[in-house]
């Protein structure tokens, strides 16, 4: 996985991914995680348990792992629309 340091909303994140993503897409993902308080500094800093998030933004499904200010993007799949007959 490649590591991309990104400054967003005056915070520094390390985004780890093998996916080809735009900065807009990464910012939307970080905004979602900020709203969900995934980077809450009040969490027990001794418990280095990463949290896994399944996120749906626009037309994509993501599986990401958050630990401190590191965001590992494990999965990025385009949603499939299923039409009923």
- The whole model's pTM is what? 0.82
End-to-end CA distance of the chain: 41
CA-closest candidate to residue 65, choices 32, 38, 45: 38
- Specify the pLDDT at position 53: 95
Q: How far apart are CA 36 and CA 61, in angstroms?
A: 16
Domain ranges within the chain, ordered by starting residue: 2-78
For residue range 29-39, list pLDDT tens digits in order.
Answer: 999 999 999 98
């Amino acid at each position: 996985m490649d590591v991309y340091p990104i400054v967003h909303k005056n915070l520094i994140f390390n985004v780890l991914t093998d996916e080809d993503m735009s900065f807009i897409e990464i910012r939307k993902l970080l905004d979602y995680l900020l709203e969900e308080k995934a980077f809450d500094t009040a969490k027990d800093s001794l418990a280095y348990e990463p949290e896994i998030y399944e996120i749906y933004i626009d037309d994509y499904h993501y599986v990401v792992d958050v630990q401190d200010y590191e965001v590992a993007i494990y999965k990025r799949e385009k949603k499939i629309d299923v039409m009923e007959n």
